[in-house]
Amino acid sequence: MGSLTRDQILSKRTLHLERVPVPEWAENGTSEVCVRRFSARTKQHLGELLAAASKRGEQLPNNWYATVCALAMCDETGQRIFTDPKDVQELGEDDADVLERVYQVAARLNGLTADAAEEVAKNSEPSLSVVSSSA
């Protein structure tokens, strides 16, 4: 039994998906969204957001729930469905109870507890990057 090769590793995507019921957003019989575990790049991006907020004396970045939801919601193949930073602002205007339901699943899948957020913020340097379509 040998070691995995580069191609073997890069050909596998291990992002875990979970469906969340959102009847409030129902359209054409579909009433759920997929929420995924974050990629390493997305987790780093959130760490940078947390670190920048901490330096400003804020506990969480502005529009945190919508940001996490936008980064976690995906199609059935794991591709993010929200990629434009404007999407985060629009999601932030949605019903808090609906976003909370999606956020709770995203937080559980990604270990986003208050203690974990503090640890990530401590270990991340802020950057000027915005939410990218590849995060």
Angle, to 10 degrees, between the axis of helix 40-55 and the axis of helix 64-72?
A: 170
- What residue ranges do the domains of the chain occupy? 16-122
Q: Residues 39-63: pLDDT tens digits?
A: 999 999 999 999 999 999 999 999 9
Q: Residues 90-113: pLDDT tens digits?
A: 999 999 999 999 999 999 999 997
Tell me what pLDDT residue 24 has.
Answer: 94
- pTM of structure: 0.77
Architecture label for domain 16-122: 2-Layer Sandwich (3.30)
- Using DSSP, state whether 7 is helix, strand or coil: helix
